[in-house]
Structure 1
């Protein structure tokens, strides 16, 4: 495996990069003042001096690798660019400035929303840094550089990935969140300088631990440009952002704006990881290895477009950029150089930064043939990553689809990965909405979707269960909106999924109708309960524990405002919901240990009268029992998805201790204790055990 990029070795650094068709390659270093990261006024320019430039040599004919070994600059902060000399088909000279895609650090994205462009003045030996506003951005800015690579000394904090005993994958409760969204709101209680960054989210780890969370999964933190979105909110004409960050510029560099002090971004991230590990919480990253921020043919040029784009991007038969990502380009993941980028990035974040797992955005692209772009019969890259010894204990999670294909239960299954199970999501939504004919689908979902993945085992958990994620309605909005309301995204409400299986229950959006509000509460609690008691790891999106709303926006990728920022005051005003979730997750932990991760358990299904289950399409009541023969204990589950109360009879010789009723926030009413003939309210679930917990 090559070591591309720049690597410091005592007083020397080694640089290596594959650059085909180059006649000459130079490495230019510029000095950066320490106060550069302080805020600047718009329309100001700062001149950064050229420190030194070096000639690289072509060291390999394979991939035409250029490299060099040089003394390390003595300045505290040093940025660098790669200058490439070429000639076109007519013999004309061409010069490109390339950003090192393997850089561990970057310059240009340290202040959220601040636009900085760079331009090299070769005659004066200067790099001009221009600070611009969104409104004053000049037309010439589109051809200027948006990022520089930055030399950095790795942080001194050591993080041991295996410093605590991790749970079985099947037990995990995953909390999906956005670094900025977690603490940017004034209600977060975080000091202003720490809001929206790693230091801020670190202060919420104790809360997550007390809630019952096992994993914090961060939306993308690889360096990206939040200002690349050119759209405006038609409701207020404000500029929209690339808020989520699914547009990576660099795959090894943390985003500078996610640090309180950009100089110490690595250190702050490691301290966040360390705090999570101290609370026995894993850290997963949402990673994007399927496309880059270079977008389509008209998009910006950072690196790959100037490093032989045919090597790095899939091409159509017409020679255009393949767009299976829906973002303008598709990385050619089967090519050896792209595979090195992916593996190198994963190892860097795991071994160097302490990350425990990775959720791969649009994973199916990693299994597209490097020549044709079609799905391959065998997922070579996914298999190689799963078999990589250095990733042996790392969680690998697949989003098994892309803009051109659906791959659930295929490629990732063959490679032994865990997959985002959207079938579970849609089935659960349909059941709670009262849709008929969902009995067998619900049975399959609760049992871990064996119809898709085959029978699970105690060491293989293919289905990651979820009802909501960053991409779509919040859990509360599923029962408050029948239609998406994405007008503020500036795309005439065309963006976002239309098949949401949601139901407003009579009023679109907020209402003061107590009957509707009560029904929304019931369905919200039922959804939480189904998610928690199903076999396999479960995930929910931040704020769902108190019923956060996005007011019907199911694609808030561009909203850098209170639509995405968590309002922590709601966690107090709706504390009964948070407590409901905390108790439910504690019950789930017992269920997982007793049943799902036990090899001596068996599940059986019945109808509401206690006899063999009836899977007729009109049936909307379900009963199942999980027996643990080793413990001599059974768990009973009664589910009523009708819109009226229903009586249930349980055929069980032993006493049943009712542990949970989703119809109530504070537990099970006393009059249900030990009863085997019960009436269950609409859209609710009752859970009991044959032994007191």
Structure 2
């Protein structure tokens, strides 16, 4: 069948279907002849119709256009352009042998794509990437909009769409797809992250790997090889041959938003999949090579390479600014994404001659775009050409991957001395980088690991990279990992080294989530995912890179720790400030917003070249918020840390990376214990205390004498045992009933105590049976049950003095009888206090 054609219109670019047919439009300023090739299917061996465009009627300014009547969505198409080929002089690379995929295509397919054939200028074949005419039916967003989370409230989680569910253990229906990711949303919700940052999802070339990697059957896994910026990657779709890319992506975004999770895209606009002079012709080379790329001024057949990938996009050319800005506005307006992270973003600041611009048009077009007003813009503020702009990236509202934070925290956690001054600056939001420009702590995206480099577990397990599997004789990837293996390279069964590695991994996570700015986690770090020392797994679409869901159970303790850390950050506005800390009292407060310490209170070791210990006290951001006291010891010896004076109230231990799970991090409202005077901070560990009482307020009411919570792991350590209970314990609908003749107490695990039993506990003594490990309600119970001083004189005796001293000063008693320590499963284990 031959379809009738007419003039068409020049806008918008790409293929757009309506009830009568499809309009096609493509850029080709210097082309002299243009053809549209139509295919029935993704794997058709030849076009069923070739439509030549008449430059007299099918061209307006720089755009070629044609309307094909009665053509329906699902048709596949390519372009073929001819024109000048005086590459060395003009930079043009028109080649009538090459079929080009439409850069504006909303959907593409790679069923017959051959990168090798596209590299051969003389090869004339139909083995190109093809555009797909996307369906034009309306999509029911059900009221969805981008979430527009406040940056200061964000916890970003960097993940790979394919790798997150490709492993057989994922158990999803469609592994490695947008639909598969949708099935894992409950996991993300439980973890507590607010946004996912997806590695590239714009259509990329999976065949873009070096010959040695290709010979091993490897392919481009990460996706930093984009060719079609307007199309979701077909490899992440269930039915790409039908052009359902947009619908499948929208389904994922809508489900994420329904769960309260924002979607940030990692976009690669600094280079394309076409590589250098010996790379394939996919689209931009054949449409407008001299427009879209930086070319050498003396020999325009050569590309300027500021990216390490063979070419550099000429981002500040007016045509390119329009193309990219319109593209990103489309992803926000039509696909509802919440933000973008720009790979090698300093390329966006380079002018057409390659020099850095003070006010680059591309950066400011995005900054000032009305559709992007509430969209997050995050820059990887450097490139491979030596331009490093962390703290100096153009624009105002751009956040930045803080590479200086990553590098410094790795050195500090490794135990390098004399860094505490800069460590304090980074923890406090990197004011030296951002405050002089009028920017805020939220301009700093803090991280210690990302897709590029070691995973967290590998960071504490390897001194050297091990990239032999990539096929480049271990030459690829960075040699500067700033890592430490703890004494043995790689896998080991040495329990001491494994314990040290787990502690150091928790240290990294704790400091990250206790820092001002925006924290970013790498997917899998929360369950200690390893790449076995490969720090450049860009081509490993296999178990090296995939998220192994069996680790969720294997490392449940670490997962619980991360969840508790995120919960702590969420509860404390003081960890999420929009303004820089000053070291002075905030308006209406009597204590400074932050106070720094060393081993001794009030004596920060700024000028000690050997210091590896740092502490700080963070005031609550409001009268209702408890203060925090954070202690960091990266030395090889324990340190007795002094604690702030009573102006801050008393202190409850809520986190200690030296403790084993589940006692390394407390869930909300269930502190690990009460601390007074000093705290023994173990070697290479981080501990956090939360204040209560005093003028700062807090989770416990001032003046009470609260029951002590002894962690289950401490029972045996202090000679306490937990035999089976002698009294009856009844479980009903999640409630915990503990009955004792004359003094019953009912506690349902959700924060309510019946008034009668509350009165008995308060006025007549009683038994406080406190379930450990419950996320809710414990704090309410402790607030309600107040133990008067005279009740401490009852017939109980001290059996665990050392433990009580560590936990705090009230009460200093536990029951005389070991059988009163109920032997239930650990999540319901209780310490009974007989108060009279």
TM-score normalized by the length of structure 2: 0.74
* Residue 417 of structure 2 corresponds to residue 436 of structure 1: yes
Q: Deviations over 1:557-583 (max 9, x none)?
A: 011110001110111111111111111
Partner of residue 77, structure 1: 74
* Residue 205 of structure 2 corresponds to residue 196 of structure 1: no
Deviation at 1:265, TM superposition (A): 2.2
* Residue 321 of structure 2 corresponds to residue 343 of structure 1: no
Deviation at 1:54, TM superposition (A): 4.7
Q: How does 1:162-561 map to 2 (within 5 A)?
A: 163=145, 166-191=148-173, 194-232=174-212, 238-262=216-240, 263=242, 264-318=244-298, 319=300, 320-370=302-352, 372-454=353-435, 461-561=442-542
Partner of residue 100, structure 1: 102
Q: Deviations over 1:463-505 (max 9, x none)?
A: 0000000000000111110001111111121111111110111
Say if 1:94 and 1:513 are closer, same or farther in 2 by CA, change over 3 A. closer
* Residue 21 of structure 2 corresponds to residue 19 of structure 1: no
CA distance in 1: counterparts of 2:448 and 2:381, whole angstroms: 16
Partner of residue 17, structure 2: 8
CA distance in 2: counterparts of 1:186 and 1:153, whole angstroms: 32
* Residue 619 of structure 2 corresponds to residue 627 of structure 1: yes
* Residue 130 of structure 2 corresponds to residue 148 of structure 1: yes
Deviation at 1:445, TM superposition (A): 0.9
CA distance in 2: counterparts of 1:94 and 1:674, whole angstroms: 75
Partners of 2:573 and 2:621 within 8 A in 1: no
CA distance in 2: counterparts of 1:498 and 1:58, whole angstroms: 57
Q: Deviations over 1:263-289 (max 9, x none)?
A: 222211111111111110001111011
SS at match of 1:223: strand
Partner of residue 650, structure 1: 643
Partners of 1:663 and 1:685 within 8 A in 2: yes
CA distance in 2: counterparts of 1:88 and 1:232, whole angstroms: 31
Given the alignment, which residue of 141, 144, 148 partners 1:159? 141
Partners of 1:479 and 1:523 within 8 A in 2: yes
Partners of 1:620 and 1:640 within 8 A in 2: yes
Deviation at 1:89, TM superposition (A): 6.6
Say if 1:82 and 1:60 are closer, same or farther in 2 by CA, change over 3 A. closer
SS at match of 1:401: coil
Partners of 2:574 and 2:620 within 8 A in 1: no
Aligned alpha-carbon RMSD (Å): 2.9
Say if 1:493 and 1:165 are closer, same or farther in 2 by CA, change over 3 A. closer
CA distance in 1: counterparts of 2:452 and 2:31, whole angstroms: 42
Q: Which has the larger radius of gyration?
A: 2
Deviation at 1:148, TM superposition (A): 1.2
Deviation at 1:19, TM superposition (A): 1.2
CA distance in 2: counterparts of 1:142 and 1:592, whole angstroms: 62
SS at match of 2:426: helix
Say if 1:154 and 1:680 are closer, same or farther in 2 by CA, change over 3 A. farther
* Residue 697 of structure 2 corresponds to residue 673 of structure 1: no
SS at match of 1:102: coil
Partners of 2:35 and 2:79 within 8 A in 1: yes
Partners of 1:218 and 1:285 within 8 A in 2: yes
Partners of 1:183 and 1:565 within 8 A in 2: yes
Partners of 2:145 and 2:336 within 8 A in 1: no
SS at match of 2:498: helix
Structure 1: tracts of 5 or more residues without a match: 37-45, 110-114, 120-129, 131-136
CA distance in 1: counterparts of 2:29 and 2:327, whole angstroms: 22
Q: Deviations over 1:272-322 (max 9, x none)?
A: 111111110001111011111110111100122122311110012332111
Deviation at 1:365, TM superposition (A): 0.3
Say if 1:564 and 1:63 are closer, same or farther in 2 by CA, change over 3 A. farther
Partners of 2:342 and 2:380 within 8 A in 1: yes
**Greater fraction of residues in strand:** 1
* Residue 662 of structure 2 corresponds to residue 660 of structure 1: no
CA distance in 1: counterparts of 2:613 and 2:250, whole angstroms: 48
Partners of 1:624 and 1:637 within 8 A in 2: yes
Deviation at 1:515, TM superposition (A): 1.1
CA distance in 1: counterparts of 2:47 and 2:394, whole angstroms: 53
Say if 1:278 and 1:459 are closer, same or farther in 2 by CA, change over 3 A. farther
CA distance in 2: counterparts of 1:412 and 1:556, whole angstroms: 28
